[in-house]
Structure 1
C-alpha cells in the first residue's frame, strides 16, 4: 500500500471505529494522532535514517531540526543514488511532511547531491508548486529550473533573522536550501522556531507585542533601477517586479498592496500596514511572522536607513531596545548546523525564521521557494 493510500485508509478506519470523528471539535485531535502515528510507522526505513546533530534543540516533543541520512541497511548497493532518493521522496512524501509539520525543518545529509541540477531534481520530487520571487528584497540569480542563488550580498555581512518575504502578502510556505560549495569558515544558516520567539517576547514585552498585534508593521525600502550586489537588500525594481515597464511594476505592486513613489533613479516602496503576528492554523499557535529585526538592523545601504525601514502600522517608530532584545532572543533560541557539501535544508516558512552568518569564501548556497 502506498503512503498516501495508507494515510487515507488510516483516517477512514479511525472514523469507522469511532476513535475520531469529523466534527470540528475533535478534528484537531484526529490530525495530531494521525501525524504522530505516521511519523513512527511509515515504512521509509529502507532509505531514510534519523540521526542526531550536536546543535539540535529539544522543545518538549519537538526535535529541531530533524536530520535524515541514508540508512545503510536499506540500500541495494553501498551508497544511494539520486534516482533512488527522488523516488523515495515521492513515495514517502506524507511521512516527510508529517516530520516537517512536527519539527519545522528537515536537514537531509549524506545523500548524493553535487550540482544545482541534482538539487532541482530533489525539489521537483517533493511536488510543491513554485512561488515566483516577486516583491522580495534579496539579490538572486536563476541557476537552473526552480533553483536560484541565495542572497548574494557580500560575505562579510550578516543577514538577520526573518521569515522569507514576510514583508509582502504573498510569501512562500516552504524553502529549500542546498550547499553546493561548503563555506571556508562561518556561513551557517541559523534557524529558530517562530512560536518560541513569540512566546518569549509576549512574556517579556507584552505591551509591545499587543501593539504589534493591533497595528502591524509598515516596511519602507528604496530601490534602484538595477540590482546592487553590494547590498543585502540590493534587488532593483526591475528584478523585484520582474519587468522593465514602470506601469507593469505599479500593477504588480498594487496586487501586493504596495505603494510606489518614483524618484529620479529608483522608487520608494511602502508596504503595509501588514500583520507582524500570525496564527499558524495548522498548529493552532501564534507565530512571530515578520521581518522587523531584519529590516531594523540590516536594511542598510546607500539608499536605505534601517531605523526608518520599519515602523508600527500607525507610523510611530519602534523602540530600539526592544528590537535588540528580540535579536538576543532569536540568537539564544537559534540552531546553527555547519553546512556540508550536498546538504539540503527544508524549512516550513510559517514555523521557522532563518538568517545567515558572515563567512570566508568559498561558499555557494542555492535556494528554491515553494507555495
Structure 2
C-alpha cells in the first residue's frame, strides 16, 4: 500500500493486520484517503487492522481518522455502560473502575442496530495492563457450537433492565434525556416494553437477535450479550446479595430467552469459555489506532494500573432486516 508496510501482528492464530508508515510522523487520515480501497479489502480479509507509528497524538487526530474511514458515525443511545461523549462521534472507552475486567463482547449486540465497525485509539497506555483483547467471532462461534447457536437463533434473547437512583446507570444516562415522554417515544419506536413500577423504578424489556449474519460475507455468528447481562456473569456472592436486596424479578439487569424461559447455565459457561479461549491480547502503544469489524471481532478490557486514556468511535450504523423479533 502507498506509504505503508503491512504484516500480521502476531505469528499464530487470528491477529490484527499491522499497518505502519514508511516514514515517521505520517498523517493517518491522509494515509486512509490514499489507500481507501486497499484498506477496505484488508479489513474484509482480516477483520481487524492496527495502525501503529502514525501521527495520532490527540483526540483531533483520531477524529480525523474516524471521519476519513467513514462518513457515518453512530450515536450511543440506550446505553449499557458509562462513557463520556467528547464530541463529533468520539467517546471515552467504558468508564468502569480500573480493577474490573470487561468481558469480550460485540458492540451494541444487545440492540437491534449496531455499528458495523468500531475504532479505538490509545492516547495514553496504562502503566500496567489495560489491554483491549479481541476475539475472532468466527472461531468463538465454532467453539460455542451449532446446537447452542441454533438454540439462540430460534429463541432469541430478552433483556430486562430496572433503573433506580444510585444503582447501575440512571435511565437519564441510558436514554440521553430526562424527559419521560422522549423515553416512551424511543421505546415505542424500538420495540422496547416500558413500565414504571410502584417505587418509581423504570423497567424495560426487549427481545433481540441471538445470532446475526454478516451483511457482506453471510457468515452466521453468535451476536448478543446474554453472557454479560445474565446475573451469572457476576461473582456468586455479589449476585446473591443483589437478588436478596431487589428480588429476582427486579434486579438491575438480566437476560433470558425471548419466550421468558431461563438460559441453561451450562450453555452460558460454554459461551464464556469460548470467548476466553479465543482472546487475543497485545499491549497498547501510544498513538495506536485499532479498527475492527464489529461482527468479526469482539473486544473487551483488561484491568489496569495508572492513567489510561482510550477513545472510541462507533462507525457505520446498521439495522438488519430480521424477521421474527418481537415488536418489529
CA distance in 1, matches of 2:87, 2:164: 26
Q: Secondary structure at the match of 2:140?
A: helix
Deviation larger for 334-343 or 296-305: 296-305
Contact 2:74–2:89 (8 Å) recurs in 1: no
Contact 1:161–1:353 (8 Å) recurs in 2: yes
Q: 1:289 corresponds to which residue?
A: 223
Which structure 2 segments of 5+ residues have no match?
318-328
Deviation, 1:57, is 4.1
Q: Secondary structure at the match of 2:114?
A: coil
Q: 1:333 corresponds to which residue?
A: 278
Deviation, 1:322, is 2.0
Deviation, 1:265, is 4.7
Contact 2:80–2:169 (8 Å) recurs in 1: yes
Q: Secondary structure at the match of 1:177?
A: strand
Identify the match of residue 103 of structure 1 among 37, 46, 49: 46
CA distance in 2, matches of 1:288, 1:200: 10
Q: 1:231 corresponds to which residue?
A: none
Deviations 1:115-151 (A, max 9, x none): 1111111111113301111112111111242211010
The reply on whether 1:51 has 2:7 as its aligned counterpart is yes
Deviations 1:179-200 (A, max 9, x none): 1110121111111111222222
Deviations 1:165-218 (A, max 9, x none): 111111111111111110121111111111222222225xx2x33221111110
CA distance in 1, matches of 2:211, 2:190: 18
Deviation, 1:288, is 0.9
Rg larger in 1 or in 2? 1
Deviations 1:40-81 (A, max 9, x none): xxxx2x322113433x543xxxx5311111124xxxxxx233
CA distance in 2, matches of 1:349, 1:121: 20
The reply on whether 1:367 has 2:302 as its aligned counterpart is no
The reply on whether 1:179 has 2:119 as its aligned counterpart is no
Instruction: Name which structure has the greater RCO, CA cutoff 8 Å, separation 6+.
Output: 2
Q: Secondary structure at the match of 1:248?
A: helix
Which structure 1 segments of 5+ residues have no match?
1-43, 73-78, 229-233
Deviation larger for 244-253 or 86-95: 86-95
Q: 1:14 corresponds to which residue?
A: none
Judging changes above 3 Å, is the alpha-carbon distance between structure 1 residues 210 and 52 closer, same or farther for their aligned structure 2 residues?
closer
CA distance in 2, matches of 1:258, 1:104: 31
Deviations 1:315-342 (A, max 9, x none): 1111222212221111111211111111
Identify the match of residue 167 of structure 1 among 87, 110, 116: 110
CA distance in 1, matches of 2:180, 2:151: 35
Deviation, 1:261, is 2.1
Q: 2:321 corresponds to which residue?
A: none
The reply on whether 1:217 has 2:146 as its aligned counterpart is no
Q: 2:298 corresponds to which residue?
A: 353
Deviations 1:66-117 (A, max 9, x none): 1111124xxxxxx2333xx212201311211111111111111111111111
Q: 1:240 corresponds to which residue?
A: 174
Identify the match of residue 113 of structure 1 among 51, 56, 64: 56
Which one has a larger percent helix, Structure 1 or Structure 2?
Answer: 1
Compute the TM-score of the two structures, normalised by the length of structure 1: 0.76
CA distance in 2, matches of 1:298, 1:322: 13
Contact 1:221–1:270 (8 Å) recurs in 2: yes
